[in-house]
Every structure is written in C-alpha cells, then in structure tokens.
Amino acid sequence: MVSDVHSNLEALLEVLGDAGCFDLAICAGDIVGYGPNPSECLRKVVELGFHSVMGNHDYAIVTGDTSGFNPYAVEAIRINRRLLGADEVTRLGGLPTGLSLDLEGVRVHVYHGSPADPINEYVFPEEAEAVAEDYLESLDAGLIILGHTHIPYVVEAEGGFMINPGSVGQPRDGDPRASYMLVEIRGSAVGVEHRRVDYDVDAVASKMRRVGLPEVLAARLYGGW
Ligand code: ZN
C-alpha cells in the first residue's frame, strides 16, 4: 500500500524493490505534484496495475483548480502539468475518488482524504483514533486506507484497521525515508507492516532544480517535513 508518491521516481523505485513480490498494489492518491517525474511515476503505477484513487494534486493537474494550495504547491502543479502529456492527464482524470475492493473476503475502502470528503479532508493520527470504529462500521469494511496527510499510522479498532501508509515521495513525519505499508490478509486476519526505505534524495533534489521546482520543495525532502 502506498500513497502520495508525488512524482518522486527514486523513492517509488526503492519502495518497489523493498516490497518484492506482491499480489496487489494500492495507491491512496497523489501520484503527481511536488516532484520532478510525474510522467515516469504515473507510467510505473499503471504498468504495475496499481489500484489508485485520485488525490488533490492529481485533481489539480486535471482541473487546474489549485484552491487551498500554497504558492509552492501551485508552482509544482504548473510544472508537473507541463511535464505530462495530454493522454496522461486524461488518465489521471479517470482515477476514481474512492475504491471498494474485496480482498480474500475482507472489504477494503480506499480514499485520499476521508470517506466523507474523499479528496480534501485531512485525517491526522489523533482523528483517525477517534473515527476509525465509526468509519469501519458505516462502510462495513475490515480495512480503510487513507493518504493525504503524509503522516503514517495504523489504527486497530473494533471491526478492523484504518491505516495511512505515509508518503513515498514527500514524508512529513520527520523521517525523510520513503514510507509505505505491506498488508497481508490471511483468512479474515489482517496484518500490517510499516516500512521505511532510503532513497537518493540528492538525485531527486538536483532533478527538481533542473526543472525549476521551488528550492523549498527540494529542501524539505532532506528533513522529512
Ligand atoms: Zn500529498
């Protein structure tokens, strides 16, 4: 399970290498935005058959609507849009805002933001603790996967798990390593393993400078903020 790849190909490739073989891959949105390789990241996600939902940056690329974005994020959307082909923008536009999958008898729901506001609402760890049980019950789900905050968590509640795998391409929990989660479903038992992976931040930062992305977006990758 990944989320918030944000055009960071080096981080995505390290995560895929670390994950090894998997039966199914899910992305909780924001394949693009912020980083220098939107096209390559989208291609990889499509090629590997990821089940992905739409994030707010994917939505901004497709619609041009950057309301609520800070100026650096807006600039990154403008540059990412320029780096993407029309067919790739169309593909992003086809991403669903939510997904419901049956995995080995476990009902899995995926949203970038929240079940109530799939694209824009932030569910931080404290809120997740408070709402997990209600969401699991109302969706009749055994596993809910969210993204958007770039802060990883695993909440186990009555009825199942609510998780956020953190961000592959722009972690914000103070740890600069790419964040993702492995989920194993056996019988009706769900097991979640949070993993962190080093990647070549220098390579990404220099590519970011080359395509004209704001310096602050490169700097934050080093500190994971
Ligand atoms: Zn994001």
Distance 191 CA to ligand 1 centre (A): 25
Distance 2 CA to ligand 1 centre (A): 11
Q: Is residue 4 part of a domain?
A: no
pLDDT at 187: 83
Q: Is residue 106 part of a domain?
A: yes
pLDDT at 54: 98
Q: Is residue 2 part of a domain?
A: no
Structural domain that includes position 170:
9-223
- Those residues whose C-beta lies under 8 Å from the C-beta of residue 170, and which sit 6 or more positions away, are 4, 6, 8, 34, 35, 150, 217, 220, 221
Distance 57 CA to ligand 1 centre (A): 7
| Whole-Å CA distances, 29 to 15, 23, 104 | 16, 19, 23
Residues 178/192, Cβ–Cβ less than 8 Å: no
Distance 102 CA to ligand 1 centre (A): 26
- Those residues whose C-beta lies under 8 Å from the C-beta of residue 15, and which sit 6 or more positions away, are 2, 168, 178, 180, 195, 197
Q: Is residue 1 part of a domain?
A: no
Quote the number of domains for the chain. Answer: 1
Distance 151 CA to ligand 1 centre (A): 10
CA distance 157 to 221: 32
- Judged on CB neighbours under 10 Å (0-12, 13-18, 19+), 98 is middle
For ligand 1, a single-atom ion, the residues with CB < 5 A are 4, 30
Distance 86 CA to ligand 1 centre (A): 22
Distance 39 CA to ligand 1 centre (A): 16
Distance 34 CA to ligand 1 centre (A): 9
pLDDT tens string, the chain, 225 residues long: the values are 999 999 999 999 999 999 999 999 999 999 999 999 999 999 999 999 999 999 999 999 999 999 999 999 999 999 999 999 999 999 999 999 999 999 999 999 999 999 999 999 999 999 999 999 999 999 999 999 999 999 999 999 999 999 999 999 999 999 999 999 999 998 888 999 999 999 999 999 999 999 999 999 999 999 999
Distance 160 CA to ligand 1 centre (A): 25
Distance 35 CA to ligand 1 centre (A): 11
pTM (2 d.p.): 0.97
Structure token pair of residue 171: 């972690």
pLDDT at 151: 98
Q: Radius of gyration over alpha carbons of the chain, in Å?
A: 16
User: What stretch of H or E contains 133?
Assistant: helix 125-138
What CATH number does the domain containing 211 carry?
A: 3.60.21.10
Distance 77 CA to ligand 1 centre (A): 12
One-letter amino acid at 188 equals S
